[in-house]
Structures are given as C-alpha cells and as structure tokens.
Amino acid sequence: MGRGLGDPPPEGHEVTAPGVGHEATAPGVGAGATTPGDAHEATAPAAGRTAPVEVVVEAPGTHRLAPHTPRDPGPGEALVAVPAVGVCGSDREVYQGNRPEGYVRYPLTPGHEWSGTVRAVGPGVHGDLVGRKVVGEGFRNCQVCDHCHAGETTLCGAGYEETGFTQPGAMAPTLTLPARLLHVLPDAADLTAAALLEPAACVAAAALKAGARPGERVAVVGTGTLGLLAVRFLRAVSPAELLVVGARDDRAALARRFGATAFRTKDEELPGGFDVVVEAAGSADSARTAAALCRRAAGWC
C-alpha cells in the first residue's frame, strides 16, 4: 500500500527481490499449461545458472539453503513463481522460536507476504489463471464454519494452517497452494510492491472494523509497517486529528509523511479522549498506551 503510493517500504519489512534461486523455471513455464489439470516437469537450470534453492528453518536458530523442487499442483491448487517476498516480524519469531506452540511446524520454509505469477494449475482450476500476477491469503480456512461465513476467516473453527508457518512458505522460487486463496492483480502490477499487500490487507480489515468516521479523533500506536499503513488508511477517512504514538522520535517525519497530524513518543504526556485507536505494535506496553488514549466506548483494534 505505502509503496504503491510512491513511498519507500517502511522500516521493519524487507522485500526480497529475485536472487535466491528465483531464476529457476517452474513447472508449466513455456509448456502451455492453459487447461485445468495440466502439470509439467520443472525445467533443469541451464549451464552456468544457479540451481534453485529455498530457505529452510530446521529449528529455532538454525537455517540452511536447500535445493528446491517445485511441487506439481494437485486438485484445486496452483503453482506460483515467486519473485518477491516480505520479511515480517513473525518470520523473526519463527527463527527465534518465539512463535506460540501450535502455530509453527518445524522444519519449514517461511514467507507469508509474497507476490508472484501463476505457472501451472491442477485439476478443477480454470486454465485462464496461468500467467496471471497474484498475491495470496495465508490462512487455509475451511470456508464452511460460522466464523468463515461471517468473514472472520482467521478465526476458522476447523483448526490452524497457514502458509509460511505450518505449510511451506514463499522463501523459495515457487509456492504451491490452494488456488482459492489467490487474488489476481492487474497485468501492470509491480510485483515487488505487491508483496506488501498481505500486511496492507490486515491493516485495512482492522481499520474498517474500527469504524473511524470523518471528523473524529483517531490515534495509532506503533510506527512499524503495520502502524504506518494504518495511518495511510485512516487518513483517507478525513479525521479531525490523527495522532501517531511511537517509541522513537526519529519516526515523526515518516509518520507525518504517511498522513499523521501529530506525533508523540510513548514516554511523553499523551492526550486522551480519542474516538478510534489502532494498536499496531503488538506489545503489552503498547496495548496499555492504546487503552489510555481511548474515550469511553471508543473503537479499538
């Protein structure tokens, strides 16, 4: 979102461009995979080209580059060539071993913020998807439980499975996943910028749920990627005030660039009475700060 509007990627998220084996040809490349069910052998690297590799986190604190073999798409699946992947704070949690038990499965290939181009599809997936630029949802929701029907797919009652945490992620030349999770992008889309659409979508959902209205007083706690994306979204609502609270005063100029009308560090005296507060730092301390900013019956997410 931020990069799509001409801004550099905010601190805290790094988007990796092609270079770690991404030049490898995936199944379906140049093979005419245009009908459901087509599957093709991966083309071996040409002489002098680097063999494709993927990042594997074997266990907390241990990783390696391993040979990558694209997995042919099965029924309802698509194989995507991945040129760009974001590095999220939760990827750091995976590497450090701070992810809650049950929300990570080692060994794994991380990467849940990504973009790419569909190279092959499995049975039951329309062949027109081949060649399209896409991004994808991470949660493998069931689509049939009450939470899924209500649009709360991250609360799916069927259990937890997510790309890059319990299922193979996008720090690899290709990714095979359910085609229903894909969202097609315009042909002219910048795939490097599009890798930030996953965190942008998370923030957009939260901002919409918070329900900020024109003329209200709005605050955002946190100045990382999610916080700055929240500022960008909330600015579009035309609030009377848009305060950003961060841990570092050197983020003030960037916060204002994204649309903040005021900036304070968490150690300064903070006003209260805000109609909507978005907590985007993810710590107990920031949650306490956000709660103190709220008026009674405020919208908070």
Query: Is 28's pLDDT higher than 90?
Result: no
Query: Would you state the pLDDT for residue 48?
Result: 58
Query: Is 151's pLDDT higher than 60?
Result: yes
Query: Is 164's pLDDT higher than 60?
Result: yes
Least confident interval from 84-93, 94-103, 289-298:
289-298
Query: Would you state the pLDDT for residue 194?
Result: 98
Query: Would you state the pLDDT for residue 2?
Result: 34
Spell out the SS3 assignment of the chain.
CCHHHCCCCCCCCEEECCCCCCCCCCCCCCCCCCCCCCCCCCCCCCCCCCCCEEEEEEECCEEEEEECCCCCCCCCEEEEEEEEEEECHHHHHHHHCCCCCCCCCCCECCCCCEEEEEEEECCCCCHHHCCCEEEECCECCCCCCHHHHCCCHHHCCCCCCEECCCECCCCCCEEEEEHHHEEECCCCCCHHHHCCHHHHHHHHHHHHHHCCCCCCEEEEECCCHHHHHHHHHHHCCCCCEEEEEECCHHHHHHHHHHCCCEEEECCCCCCCCEEEEEECCCCHHHHHHHHHHEEEEEEEC
Query: Is 228's pLDDT higher than 70?
Result: yes
CATH of domain 3-195: 3.90.180.10
Query: Would you state the pLDDT for residue 245?
Result: 97
Condensed to tens digits (0 to 9), the pLDDT of residues 165-213 reads 999 999 999 999 999 999 999 999 999 999 999 999 999 998 888 899 9
Q: Where are the domains of the chain?
A: 3-195, 201-300
Query: Is 234's pLDDT higher than 80?
Result: yes
CA distance 31 to 81: 14
Is the bond preceding 107 in cis, omega lying within 30 degrees of 0?
Answer: yes
The dihedral region occupied by 292, where left means phi > 0, alpha psi between -120 and 50, and beta the remainder, is: alpha
Query: Would you state the pLDDT for residue 146?
Result: 95
Contact 114, 198 (CB under 8 A): yes
CATH superfamily of 201-300: NAD(P)-binding Rossmann-like Domain (3.40.50.720)
CA distances from residue 148 to 140, 152, 183 in whole angstroms, order as listed: 11, 5, 17
